Every structure is written in C-alpha cells, then in structure tokens.
Amino acid sequence: MKRVITHRSNFVWLLIALLFLLFSDAMFAQLDSHQGQRLINITLMLTIVAAVWSVETSQGRWLNWKLGMTFIIAALMIGDSIIESNFLAIYQLTSSFIFLMFSLLLCWRQVMFSGTIDTNKVIGAICIYILIGLIWSFGYLIVEHLFPGSFKGLEDSLWQHNLEELIYYSLVTLTTLGYGDITPQQPLAQFLAYMEAITGIFYTTVLVASLIGMRLAHYSEGISQKTRGE
C-alpha cells in the first residue's frame, strides 16, 4: 500500500528526515571518509527535499518560496561538490540557515495555530526542537567561517567537516548539558551559545508543557463527552 504524506502524518516524515541527517552526518564523521564533503552535501539536499514535501503550506506563495530556496541550496551543494573548495561556503551556510528558519516557521504555524493537539503535532514539537538545534548549528558555522577560531575544539576548515561537531555542540547547549569539549572563545559565539541555552530552557519548560497539557485536556474532554453520552 502506497504511503502518502498527509496533514496528519507529515511530521513523522520530517522527523525521519531530520534523524537521517543527524545519523548520517555522525556516521560520515565516524568513518572519516575522504568523500565527507560531498556526502554531507548530498545528505543535506535529501533532508531539504524531505522538508519541502513534509511541511504543510496553506498558501501557494509559501510553496513557491520553499521550492525556490530548495533550488538555490541544491545548486550551491552541487557546485560545491564539483569545485570541492570552500569558495561557496558562506552562501551554502546562509541559504541553509534561512531555509531551516523558514521550515521552523511553517512547523510552528501548524503545531501551535491549527486545530486540536494530536500525536502528529506532538511529533511536530520534537521536530521544532531539532530544527532549533540545527539552526543554531548553522549559525555557529557562519560565525566560525567569518571569524575563524570562534570555537575551541574544531580542527578543520571545511564547514562540512565541522557540521557534526557543531550539531553536537548545539544540541548539548540546547539541553544545557555543557560537556566543555567544544567551547566558544569569542564574544559573538558566546552570545549565540547562551541565547541557545535560554531558548532550550524556555521551549522545554513552557511550550512543550503547554502542548502536552492541551493534549491531556482534549483527551479528558473526549472521555467526559463519552461518559455523558452513555
């Protein structure tokens, strides 16, 4: 039976795409592949395509915007894989950052402002959390590219080789673990780090708790209606 992305299951597919990106990036770093730059470009393109078709849009202009950004990012990734240099890095990082921000906005609109809270929206809240971590990862990569040495613990100049380490650092910071193996050394990097920690605390304690509370409220209301009906 053919599986179709619907408004009730779209976040499941987005979550799979995001987890695939995180796992494949870690695996490429673990294997220390010489083709890492190209493989990361391909994986990122696949994730972006999945995001385009899984995030719901209610207006055609949003879909056109998503498709346009996808084309730009894909062209940059293909060009970078052919040239195999750091020339296109800032354009790749900026366009990916903007695309992830845009995807976060669309996810936020669907999760917070459309209908009742169901399982798909709870999964959507998880997707938003991962997207926040990825957005900050690319923000860190942009800062490191513009101001080399912003982070202690990075050993490579190519952003594709630093992506896994800064995703790790971003998610550790978002959850306020703070292992200390990678540390921000310059003011702008430090600013981004503590702002991400604040965002992580706010999101988990306020927004996710609100979603779960609304879900339980709808569940209790459904039980009450069934009881009155009997």
CA-to-CA separations, 154 to 27, 61, 192, 198, in angstroms, rounded: 18, 40, 17, 24
Q: Is residue 4 part of a domain?
A: no
| 73 has a pLDDT exceeding 70 | yes
Count of the separate structural domains present in the chain: 1
Q: Is residue 201 part of a domain?
A: yes
Q: Is residue 78 part of a domain?
A: yes
Whole-model pTM?
Answer: 0.82
CA-to-CA separations, 49 to 6, 146, 219, in angstroms, rounded: 16, 28, 34
Rounded CA-CA distance 203/96 in Å is: 22
Q: Is residue 2 part of a domain?
A: no
Q: Is residue 58 part of a domain?
A: yes
pLDDT for 6 equals: 52
Give the residue, 220 or 87, on which the prediction is more confident. Answer: 87
| 125 has a pLDDT exceeding 90 | no
What are the contacts of 123-129 at 24+ separation with CB within 8 A?
A: 123/11, 123/12, 123/15, 124/11, 124/14, 125/207, 125/208, 125/211, 126/11, 126/15, 127/11, 127/14, 127/15, 127/18, 128/104, 128/203, 129/174, 129/203, 129/204, 129/208
Cβ atoms of 30 and 75 closer than 8 Å: no
pLDDT tens by residue, 148-183: 999 998 876 778 888 889 999 999 999 888 788 899
> What's the domain range around 170?
10-229
The residue among 76, 83, 112 whose CA lies nearest residue 97 is 76
Q: Is residue 1 part of a domain?
A: no
Q: Is residue 220 part of a domain?
A: yes
Q: What CATH number is attached to the domain comprising 14?
A: 1.10.287.70
Q: Is residue 182 part of a domain?
A: yes
pLDDT tens by residue, 178-214: 788 899 999 999 999 999 999 998 888 877 777 777 7
